[in-house]
């Protein structure tokens, strides 16, 4: 019965927040417009707030799964109107916590021991409660302070039910709203489904955290807490407890005289290092997941937590993206257009000149502003929206990248409003491109692939012989196929001539039997007989 009650609640929330107003569109079928007109709550519940506000309130009322969906949706500024994207970005991970006793039971069942045996102390009051998990403070027997993250009980079933309902709503939006197909709601739900089910397995988050920690081992700009694998399972994660200032707490940061300019620039440096050096970037870097170390405020260091969403780029995507950004800031729109085509982001048959013109018309006005006011995130958004008009396919890895860049950029400008993102990023990108094309990089690539080449070297003569043999067989087959087709055409032509000769002979014999004097028959033939005869002869000729 739970799915039935859940559906009833969802319909009640839709009515309470008058979400039906999103479908008031002349392009709807007339029968649906009439059905919307006769909805009973239309006359009982006024829609006082703007559409975007009512959508946010509805998602909050529907619970953690829909809140998480709204948060993810808020990052898709390429799909949403600005007012809705801004309002959904206000959604917070503040949801009611579940029973501490239940949390202890989950930990004990997962780790096979009692909490008292596992930890020297375990705080029953949660430190934080999020959409799919909550966090408790604890202490190991060696004295190290840790946090214990526990997946909400029964959340997987709730998510499955809610995702099914989201698919239904996406289908309705797609078919009942004129803008629905452009927004691709079903694809958005598919992306969300994959993301949230990945977050339910804390082993994946732990693995991501361990990799990120290795990437920044000994770094002075980013610290990643240690994962304790002996205490980590699918629905329990134990991690080193960190002591830092929330990055959005400007009061505390200013109180300890933090170097805000350096902090903002290091945020940008961390992003580009993750994307281009490691191709492994934290894709959920909102202020709730980022802290600043209390040590060395004059030389600030970030601390990152929550590694459930990680993005990566292929070597080709890295190269094309770096070259795109550099070409954009050089106003080389032809190269930007060509790079989109070469990368396969838009179809190969795209008109380069038309694409270049479209990009110029969107991007040129941006350069009327000082460079420090130009938003990288909006640059990518403008490029992707323009490319979409030329049938650019959705690139999930670029969507995550754009979302992360918008988060980093917004955070940087909040910390230091005069941050010149281009000044910080350009040297990094240029140096990365030089290193990628340097002799050292080529030698490194050869060194990495050398064992594989050496392993295949003894097989090369046989591989070359097999390739040549296959080519010879292929050519023979092509010659044989051409000969067979030519013979078929010759036989068909002979058959047509033979049938035509038989038809004409038969016609002559029949006419001779009916009218021995053929000349008299021809002279007495009426006009319509001549017409029929000409049509007949033309038909025979075409055959």
Residue pair 71/95 in contact by the 8 Å Cβ criterion: no
Distance CA 30, CA 37 (A): 11
DSSP bridge partners of 128:
135
Q: Is 306 a catalytic residue?
A: no
SS3 137: strand
Distance CA 62, CA 67 (A): 8
In three-state form (DSSP H/G/I as H, E/B as E, the rest C), the secondary structure along 177-206 is: CCCHHHHCHHHHHHHHHHHHHHHCCHHHHH
Distance CA 384, CA 355 (A): 12
- Token pair listed for 330: 């050089």
Q: Is 125 exposed, middle or buried (0-12, 13-18, 19+ CB in 10 A)?
A: exposed
Distance CA 117, CA 162 (A): 37
Residue pair 302/247 in contact by the 8 Å Cβ criterion: yes
218-223: Cβ within 8 A, 24+ apart: 220/299, 220/301, 221/266, 221/269, 221/270, 221/301, 221/302, 222/270, 222/301, 222/302, 222/303, 222/304, 223/293, 223/301, 223/302, 223/303, 223/304
DSSP 8-state secondary structure symbol assigned to residue 233: B
Distance CA 89, CA 67 (A): 10
Q: Which of 51, 284, 306, 317 is catalytic?
A: 284
**Closest-CA residue to 314 (of 397, 210, 399, 209):** 397
Residue pair 238/147 in contact by the 8 Å Cβ criterion: yes
Q: What angle do CA 219, 221, 224 make, to 5 degrees?
A: 65
- Token pair listed for 239: 């991690």
**Closest-CA residue to 382 (of 367, 404, 397):** 367
What residues are annotated to the active site? 284
């Amino acid at each position: 019965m739970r799915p039935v009650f859940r559906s009833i609640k969802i319909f009640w929330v839709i009515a309470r927040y008058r979400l039906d107003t999103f479908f008031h569109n002349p392009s709807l079928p007339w029968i649906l417009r009439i059905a919307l007109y006769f909805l009973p709550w239309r006359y009982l519940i006024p829609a006082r707030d703007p559409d975007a506000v009512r959508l946010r309130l509805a998602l909050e009322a529907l619970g953690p799964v829909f809140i998480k969906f709204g948060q993810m949706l808020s990052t898709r500024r390429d799909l949403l109107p600005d007012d809705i994207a801004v309002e959904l970005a206000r959604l917070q991970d503040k949801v009611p916590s579940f029973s501490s006793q239940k949390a202890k039971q989950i930990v004990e069942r997962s780790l096979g021991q009692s909490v008292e045996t596992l930890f020297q102390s375990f705080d029953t009051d949660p430190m934080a409660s999020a959409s799919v998990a909550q966090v408790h403070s604890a202490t190991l027997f060696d004295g190290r302070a840790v946090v214990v993250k526990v997946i909400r009980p029964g959340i997987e079933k709730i998510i499955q039910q809610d995702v099914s309902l989201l698919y239904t709503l996406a289908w309705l939006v797609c078919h009942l709203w004129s803008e629905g197909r452009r927004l691709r709601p079903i694809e958005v739900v598919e992306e969300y489904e994959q993301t949230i089910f990945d977050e339910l397995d804390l082993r994946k988050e732990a693995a991501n955290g361990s990799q990120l920690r290795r990437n920044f081992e000994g770094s002075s700009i980013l610290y990643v807490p240690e994962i304790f694998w002996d205490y980590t399972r699918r629905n329990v994660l134990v991690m080193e407890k960190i002591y830092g200032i929330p990055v959005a707490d400007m009061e505390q940061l200013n109180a300890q005289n933090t170097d805000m300019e350096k902090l903002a620039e290091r945020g940008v440096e961390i992003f580009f290092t993750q994307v281009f050096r490691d191709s492994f970037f934290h894709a959920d870097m909102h202020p709730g997941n980022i802290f600043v170390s209390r040590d060395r405020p004059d030389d600030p260091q970030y601390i990152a937590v929550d590694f459930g969403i990680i993005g990566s780029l292929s070597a080709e995507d890295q190269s094309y993206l770096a070259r795109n950004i550099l070409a954009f800031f050089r106003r080389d729109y032809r190269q930007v257009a060509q790079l989109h085509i070469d990368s396969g982001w838009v179809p190969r048959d795209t008109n380069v000149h038309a694409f270049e013109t479209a990009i110029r018309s969107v991007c040129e006005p941006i350069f009327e502003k000082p460079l420090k006011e130009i938003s990288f995130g909006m640059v990518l958004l403008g490029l992707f929206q323009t490319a979409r008009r030329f049938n650019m396919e959705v690139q999930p890895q670029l969507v995550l990248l754009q979302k992360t860049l918008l988060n980093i950029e917004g955070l940087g400008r909040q910390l230091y409003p005069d941050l010149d993102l281009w000044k910080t990023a350009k040297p990094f990108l240029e140096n990365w491109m030089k290193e990628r094309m340097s002799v050292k990089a080529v030698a490194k690539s050869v060194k990495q692939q050398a064992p594989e080449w050496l392993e295949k070297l003894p097989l090369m003569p046989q591989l070359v012989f097999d390739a040549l043999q296959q080519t010879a067989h292929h050519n023979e087959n092509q010659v044989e196929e051409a000969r067979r087709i030519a013979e078929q055409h010759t036989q068909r032509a002979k058959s047509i001539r033979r049938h035509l000769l038989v038809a004409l002979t038969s016609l002559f014999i029949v006419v001779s039997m009916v009218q021995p004097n053929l000349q008299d028959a021809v002279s007495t033939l009426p006009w319509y007989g001549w017409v029929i005869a000409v049509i007949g002869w033309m038909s025979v000729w075409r055959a």
